[in-house]
Structure 1
Amino acid sequence: MFQSKKNIIAGRNPVTEALKNGQTIDKIIMFKNASGDSIQEIRKLAKELNVPVQYVPNEKLNSLTNVQHQGVIAYKSSVVYQDLQQVIDWINEKGETILFIMLDGITDVRNIGAIARSAVCCGAQAIIVPDKGVGAMNEDAMKSSAGALERIQICRVNSLLKAVDTLHLNGIKVFTSEMKAAKKIFEIDLTDPCCIIMGNEEKGVQPYMSKAADEHFTIPMKGGFDSFNVSVAAGIILYETMKQRGGK
């Protein structure tokens, strides 16, 4: 199925100009054998702007659009990405207690939108996403969030592990859920500045990310079912945090 023309930029010159003019790009899809000065310039700009580049066969590009693409397609983002440290400094200057959500391997844009909606409702100020392995911040995600993605800071980083280091350096604790964790969610102190890592529904939080967390907790359940949907789990965690902080 062809993608909406509203969501993509096709062709070497249009993609180059979009990068130069500050258009927020989710990712670039490039023919794996593409070459030439314009391709080198796109790669250079993408690296400077922390835009992920995915290399694919030409057939894949043809399946994505009927527009003349010249071996390059860029997906436009519906949000503007922010620098993590700058967001931390800005929130601290406002005198607010930091509450962030970090998305590790969540690819379903409907879940991303739902998490963003709960985050805004419960007072979180930012969502941290990796430059690869996460669903696009596109029109579908925006629709699922009911506009919440426009009301929260989105920080895109090239390494979630380095982002955890940045959080720790700023005195922000990092928590994540585990099915077999000793503590329950309501036994964790969430009143201090903190960030919650939410993992992929199938695989959960990656082991090295789980190891980097300060504490782990479980969400109690009845009924013997597998687990909560990730967006529902995020809503429970965020609401518990808001409750602990006085519901403000």
Structure 2
Amino acid sequence: MQKETHIYGIRAIIEAIESESTIDKVFLQKGLKGDLYRELESLIRKNGINSSYVPIEKLNRLTKNNHQGAVANISPITFYSIEELLEKTEKKETPALFLLLDQLSDVRNFGAIIRTAECTGVDGIIIQKKGAAPVTADTIKTSAGAAFKVPIAKVDHIKDAVFYLQASGIKVVSATEKTDNTIYDVNFKDSIAIIMGAEDRGISPSILKASNYTAKLPLLGEIESLNVSVACAVFLYEAVRQRR
């Protein structure tokens, strides 16, 4: 299994960005100042790289080296564009099946979802550049290596991906409790993309509005929701069941 790689030091990260290395996320020390630090911040914004401001203790845990207030994760996988994902499905005789993750942030949930996606024949996973869970060593481990098998694309905004998929003839169904429809009311036999939302707040209202369908899981107990990776598995296997 390929291990997660860290780059530390402001200048080193700037050079990695300029050389177009696949940087998954940059951790920046809160309150740091200086021209070089501002240059790094500018590059991060310009390239749409996922980043967060953290206490120095977090950076110290990530690396024991002199990080100078910045540590970057180099992704162990290569990301695709959404256009490349669709190109891969054009020659298939079976309907396409895509998975979109709207601001999912937990790396282990992400890994579990990737594993299920591989087992259910998902053609590709689409995540947002900013705010999404990074692909770390924990993600790879939880996915049981499936992260190397399922194509993953990064987009600027999930909503834009929704419109692009719809323009390509792919219907979009959002998993949400804010609907009267269950997954058994949705036709998964056609080319379709399933959207799963963040662990704490679900799918963004604007994305729900843009979706072709919304669907929920029937919950018969007192607990009002399932873990997102479990819910995703149920949705995907309903698609498998209908397509058999």
- TM (norm. structure 2) is 0.88
Aligned to 1:35: 34
How far 1:115 moved relative to its partner? 0.7
How far 1:95 moved relative to its partner? 4.0
- Which of residues 60, 63, 79 in structure 2 aligns to 1:65? 63
8 Å CA contact retained: 2:11, 2:36: no
Structure 1: give runs of 5+ residues left out of the alignment.
none
- The separation in 2 between residues aligned to 1:52 and 1:106, in whole angstroms, is 13
- The separation in 2 between residues aligned to 1:53 and 1:153, in whole angstroms, is 22
- Which of residues 152, 161, 164 in structure 2 aligns to 1:163? 161
1:219 aligns with 2:213: no
- Which of residues 72, 75, 80 in structure 2 aligns to 1:74? 72
The correspondence of residues 168-247 of structure 1 with structure 2, limited to 5 A, is 168-246=166-244
Structure 2 counterpart SS, 1:209: helix
How far 1:198 moved relative to its partner? 0.5
8 Å CA contact retained: 1:25, 1:51: yes
* Farther off after superposition, 202-211 or 108-117: 202-211
- The separation in 1 between residues aligned to 2:178 and 2:66, in whole angstroms, is 52
- The separation in 2 between residues aligned to 1:10 and 1:65, in whole angstroms, is 8
Structure 1 counterpart SS, 2:109: helix
Amino-acid identity (%): 35
- TM (norm. structure 1) is 0.87
How far 1:44 moved relative to its partner? 5.6
- The separation in 2 between residues aligned to 1:128 and 1:66, in whole angstroms, is 33
- The separation in 1 between residues aligned to 2:145 and 2:109, in whole angstroms, is 14
How far 1:14 moved relative to its partner? 2.4
- The separation in 2 between residues aligned to 1:6 and 1:120, in whole angstroms, is 21
* One-letter amino acid matched to 1:226: E
* One-letter amino acid matched to 1:106: L
How far 1:63 moved relative to its partner? 5.1
- The separation in 2 between residues aligned to 1:173 and 1:149, in whole angstroms, is 25
Structure 2: give runs of 5+ residues left out of the alignment.
none
Aligned to 1:17: 15
Going from structure 1 to structure 2, the CA distance change for 1:6 and 1:81 (only over 3 Å counts) comes to closer
Aligned to 1:146: 144
How far 1:29 moved relative to its partner? 2.2
- The separation in 1 between residues aligned to 2:177 and 2:10, in whole angstroms, is 47
8 Å CA contact retained: 1:130, 1:157: yes
User: What RMSD, in angstroms, separates the aligned Cα atoms of the two structures?
Assistant: 2.3
* One-letter amino acid matched to 2:65: V
How far 1:58 moved relative to its partner? 5.0
Deviations 1:54-112, CA, capped at 9 Å, x for gaps: 34565654454321122321112122111011211221134442211111122111111
How many residues are aligned here?
A: 241
8 Å CA contact retained: 1:29, 1:55: yes
8 Å CA contact retained: 1:28, 1:52: yes
